[in-house]
Amino acid sequence: MLTRMSSLFLRTLREDPADAEVPSHKLLVRAGYVRRVAPGVYSWLPLGLKVLRRVEAVVREEMDAMGGQEILFPALLPREPYEVSNRWTEYGPAVFRLKDRKGGDYLLGPTHEELFTLAVKGEYSSYKDFPVVLYQVQTKYRDEERPRAGILRGREFVMKDSYSFDLTDEGLSESYRRHRDAYIRIFDRLALDYVIVAATSGAMGGSASEEFLAECETGEDTFVRGPGGYAANVEAVTTPAPPPVPLDGLPAAQVHHTPDTPTIETLVDFLNAHGTRTFTAADTLKNVMVKIKPPGATEWELLGVGVPGDREVDMKRLEASCEPAQVALLEESDFARNPFLTKGYIGPGSLAANGVRFLVDPRIVTGTAWVTGADKVDHHVVDLVCGRDFTPDGTIEAAEVRAGDPSPDGQGVLEAARGIEIGHIFQLGRKYADAFGLDALGPDSKPIRITMGSYGVGVSRLVAVIAEQSHDESGLIWPRSVSPYDVHVVVAGKSAELLAGGEEVAAELEAAGLSVLLDDRKASPGVKFADAELVGIPTILVVGRGLAEGKLELKDRATGERIEIPRDGVAAHVSGIVRA
Amino acid sequence: MLTRMSSLFLRTLREDPADAEVPSHKLLVRAGYVRRVAPGVYSWLPLGLKVLRRVEAVVREEMDAMGGQEILFPALLPREPYEVSNRWTEYGPAVFRLKDRKGGDYLLGPTHEELFTLAVKGEYSSYKDFPVVLYQVQTKYRDEERPRAGILRGREFVMKDSYSFDLTDEGLSESYRRHRDAYIRIFDRLALDYVIVAATSGAMGGSASEEFLAECETGEDTFVRGPGGYAANVEAVTTPAPPPVPLDGLPAAQVHHTPDTPTIETLVDFLNAHGTRTFTAADTLKNVMVKIKPPGATEWELLGVGVPGDREVDMKRLEASCEPAQVALLEESDFARNPFLTKGYIGPGSLAANGVRFLVDPRIVTGTAWVTGADKVDHHVVDLVCGRDFTPDGTIEAAEVRAGDPSPDGQGVLEAARGIEIGHIFQLGRKYADAFGLDALGPDSKPIRITMGSYGVGVSRLVAVIAEQSHDESGLIWPRSVSPYDVHVVVAGKSAELLAGGEEVAAELEAAGLSVLLDDRKASPGVKFADAELVGIPTILVVGRGLAEGKLELKDRATGERIEIPRDGVAAHVSGIVRA
């Protein structure tokens, strides 16, 4: 059905909205696609809703094609299932909670693991029922601390979330692979520039979790990649361990009086001023004290984390490594309770002596020698050799990752880049099946605990991500797969002849199965052209003075290229371009 | 894309759910269309979601065809606009309220008048912009006191709500008429049996508000209709007034001592036992005391409501007549504060003497004589004549409506029926435009206050309403317009030949553009037939023993009719039936 701009509920804005920082936010508001209702809460105006629905359609088609079955859960959810999974408590302030008129506790679903698990448990019981993949395209809620960038990080947003239910780990791997392939098709159809990054260090084995990141300077996620194709988010980067060094012939450890050297910097300066060798921060071993609390535990437990002194501990990497345990830096009171910890001079010795677990960066291998604390104020030990003078309890990925670090795949060095998460695939395993007792009765009548995968696409966010990657200074530039209309017909003039000509052209295009936005307004051609650029439909057809000679102008929004085409056969011509 | 029951996420139930009372609830649960998550909160399983989407599509097509433009508001709404309209307070416990992490007040939108008004105010400013019709298909929330009947009255539900914005009352009438026509098309396409009833007594003039009620014995709404086509919900019924009676020659009023007659029944018994005439309850005038509070008022005001003694006051009718004022029955304390009110013996005299407004049923016209209270314990007055002995301040529609009452259109008498509200169209006027200052700048540069219409369709409820009207003891019977699939192909047997035959038939039907559910399960034909009846796809094609002789069986779910058709040309044959 032809849409005329004279009656379309659209008013473009010449000015950027005051609260907008990123291009997609500015342009989606200026071009009349979305409007803000509250922080992180937006309305979709006609053009925006069309793009949203087209993105949804692409997601749905690929999910159906990979065998997913669509269902729809409510957004208003009772507390009980989230109590079972313990997420009612774990979620903290990021979840919207409310009470109904009878005082019952409810939440607005941020994710639906519990409901999917219960749904399968409710319907299925036999091993013959599995595997199954269920998905929904649904409005979700998250009370973000800092909603930002318009619909890029909203508090009410549309997600496609799906879950796979398998009898075996191999089945889960296969479901995961099929989702991965479907996501590649989805993001390719949306013409996105994206990378697939490892999202965990692989504690669960292999690529148990990957994120799809749209490359974008304004992105909130940092990731690294190497020239050989390696890509990972920072939390997932693994540090290649150097080969161990033979212990024979290494100098003995010596304790030195190093007054006023509680920091790496003061220590290195002191050593270089008072010794015969030259030290750098990389020669020192920094022992950072944290405490961890495994799920279900009531007490915090001390943990020493040893990293080369030229690197900080990256709390996000540390947290990812400790999951599902919580982790926190020690407070003054913790030091007070553990007087064997000599702040600024902590060494592996006191940790071992007091039964504190000590995990080190993978670079700290047997035979490497370190300057580190001597567990005594103003004293450090030099040439403390790993595997000879101390034995760590294991390794941990906690040190910061830097551009220039060697790539874990052994090919070249890492570079850092920024992206926006558009998809996440994750081998969830049996966490929720365990919580809810989701079993299938096997052929031998014994129960088989189901293993699950979790897969998400940020559908409404994708509208902003596409805008973020595809725009110029004049406005939006939609890929054909999601453009609100196929063709924008601009009547460049106010005469009755031109208007009639535009209507005829538009009708012919519609008859050929193209969707058309006709600018039939009584505005100047300049205003109309500027709006066409801003609105961003990829093909602009100008009905102007040339019409009298049977000519129209066709403009490609992305390249700016203009060509003259004959009025006769316009539908075939434009169809050929749109459907190319 | 062909759906196979062997992998469809569907398990039918043989038993009715324990909490289900109405057929649609029982059958939608048993046939695996919906599942309960919390009171009034449901999940849609694959078949249910398909029907819901098809209903949505019908609604959308007709809304687009009548010129509506689709937008989408959030469900999570800030308090402020609802403060402006005063509905934050007025809504009471029927609205879900919540706070965000910063303590801001939010609600889950039950209706979106405020947002629509603000949206138009935000984009439009000139008289040239109007009229406009905006709509959304959206998930809404209402904390019903008694959610019931499955998705028929849920707390989370899908509605199509639209609003028209016009410069003039005539424009509003036209927008209203176009919505009315669109709704007729929608409900006709959904094959519903429905009536359009007047929803207000016409205080705003003409048919300012009408409800579309699906006729249904289990419906919550009572309506009446006459043989001449008149139909109204009970609140909207107007009472025809009899002609006035000349006052000349009417007997004078006489006060009688009528001990122990505080009720109509005791009064009539006393009069008939002690007098020479015969009285019925219809000869008495019952004066019911209520109090009303207009919007914005702080004090309640007394109101006397006089109705013939053979009828009760219908509180819903009284409330509708008093709107937007609140109305309540008097409490003991009110009587105590107004000692001139002699409970059980109240007459028009004391009301007039104490300045209490007195409104009467339209049947109480000049010249009618009544037995009523004499404002003195144990005393009544007989032959108190309206227009001679007392003068009401006006009339009010408050008396109950009964089957057998004369139809307001003068044709025959009313009968009562029950229905479920499926649509409501309403000339809202300038209430919200006034609250938000929604004006258009006129051609003379003077502001024109916009007038609005409000129009709703209960989309998810319609799925239940269709089921309620279209089922039998074996299961659901979907109209073709919303059936989850066009054809249900049942392979009646487990042999490889039959299964292959079923697959081929299904593929041919799909190739012809029909959507097919193929029952390829390893179950007995009996189980499959029972499930096909329960699921309710209108056309069932059985691939059974006849296949060897090139024959299939085609069953019409609604009529139960079975015919044998040739295997060859099956797609053309079935298409002809489905698309008839």
Q: Do B69 and A9 touch (CB under 8 A)?
A: yes
Structure confidence at residue A205 as a pLDDT band (50, 70, 90) = very low
Give A423-444 pLDDT, tens digit per residue: 999 999 998 999 999 999 999 9
Contact B471/A at CB under 8 A: no
- Cα separation, B155 vs B144, whole angstroms: 6
Q: What is the pLDDT of residue A204?
A: 39
Contact A52/B at CB under 8 A: yes
* Residue of B133, B219, B273 whose CA lies nearest to B458: B219
SS3 per-residue string spanning A19-73: CCCCHHHHHHHHCCCEEEEECCEEEECHHHHHHHHHHHHHHHHHHHHCCCEECEC
> How high does pLDDT run on average in chain B?
92
**Exposed / middle / buried, residue B352 (Cβ in 10 Å: 0-12, 13-18, 19+):** middle
- Cα separation, B48 vs B483, whole angstroms: 10
More confident residue, A491 or A146: A491
Shortest Cα distance, chain B CAs vs residue A547, angstroms: 28
Contact B123/A at CB under 8 A: yes
Counting residues of chain A whose pLDDT is more than 90, the rounded percentage is 77
- Cα separation, B107 vs B109, whole angstroms: 6
* Residues on chain A touching B9 (C-beta within 8 angstroms): 69, 71, 123, 132, 134
Angle, CA of A342, A345 and A348, to the nearest 5°: 90
Average pLDDT over residues A291-319: 90
Structure confidence at residue A202 as a pLDDT band (50, 70, 90) = very low
Least confident of A5-9, A335-339, A507-511: A335-339
Shortest Cα distance, chain A CAs vs residue B31, angstroms: 12
Q: Is the pLDDT of residue A358 over 90?
A: yes
Q: What is the pLDDT of residue B207?
A: 52
Please report the beta strands in A435-476, taking only residues with DSSP state E, as ranges in sequence order. Answer: 439-441, 447-449, 451-458, 471-472, 475-476
Q: What is the pLDDT of residue B580?
A: 81
Q: Do A96 and B97 touch (CB under 8 A)?
A: no
Q: What is the pLDDT of residue B344?
A: 85
Contact B369/B335 with Cβ under 8 angstroms?
A: no
Q: Do B156 and A124 touch (CB under 8 A)?
A: no
Q: Which CATH homologous superfamily contains domain A23-237+416-467?
A: Bira Bifunctional Protein; Domain 2 (3.30.930.10)
Most B CBs within 10 A among A4, A6, A8, A9, hence the mutation to make, goes to: A9
Q: Is the pLDDT of residue A207 over 70?
A: no
Q: Do A74 and B108 touch (CB under 8 A)?
A: no
Q: What is the pLDDT of residue B92?
A: 82
3-class secondary structure, A333 = helix
* Residue of A464, A575, A535 whose CA lies nearest to A192: A464
A216-225 burial code (b ≥16 CB/10 A, e <16): bebbebebbb
Name the DSSP class of A235.
G
| pTM, 2 dp | 0.88
Contact B394/B415 with Cβ under 8 angstroms?
A: no
Q: Is the pLDDT of residue A472 over 50?
A: yes
Cα Rg of chain A, angstroms: 30
Q: What is the pLDDT of residue B205?
A: 39
**Exposed / middle / buried, residue B579 (Cβ in 10 Å: 0-12, 13-18, 19+):** exposed
CATH topology agreement for domains B23-190+426-467 and B485-578: no
Fold observed for domain B23-190+426-467: BirA Bifunctional Protein; domain 2 (3.30.930)
Average pLDDT over residues A437-466: 96
Look up the CATH number of domain B254-395.
3.90.960.10
Cα–Cα distance list, B169 to A434, A448, B56, B177, B179 (Å): 63, 68, 30, 12, 15
Contact B354/A at CB under 8 A: no
Average pLDDT over residues A275-292: 90
Structure confidence at residue A238 as a pLDDT band (50, 70, 90) = confident
Domain boundaries, chain B: 23-190+426-467, 254-395, 485-578
Name the DSSP class of B293.
E
Q: What is the pLDDT of residue B236?
A: 86
Contact A347/A267 with Cβ under 8 angstroms?
A: no
Q: Do A77 and B38 touch (CB under 8 A)?
A: yes
Q: Which CATH homologous superfamily contains domain A485-578?
A: Anticodon-binding domain (3.40.50.800)
Query: What residues of chain B score a pLDDT lower than 50?
Result: 201-206
Most A CBs within 10 A among B2, B9, B73, B135, hence the mutation to make, goes to: B9
* Residue of A271, A258, A46, A24 whose CA lies nearest to A148: A24
Amino acid at site A297: A
Q: Which residues lie closer than 8 Å to B273 by C-beta, 6 or more apart?
A: none
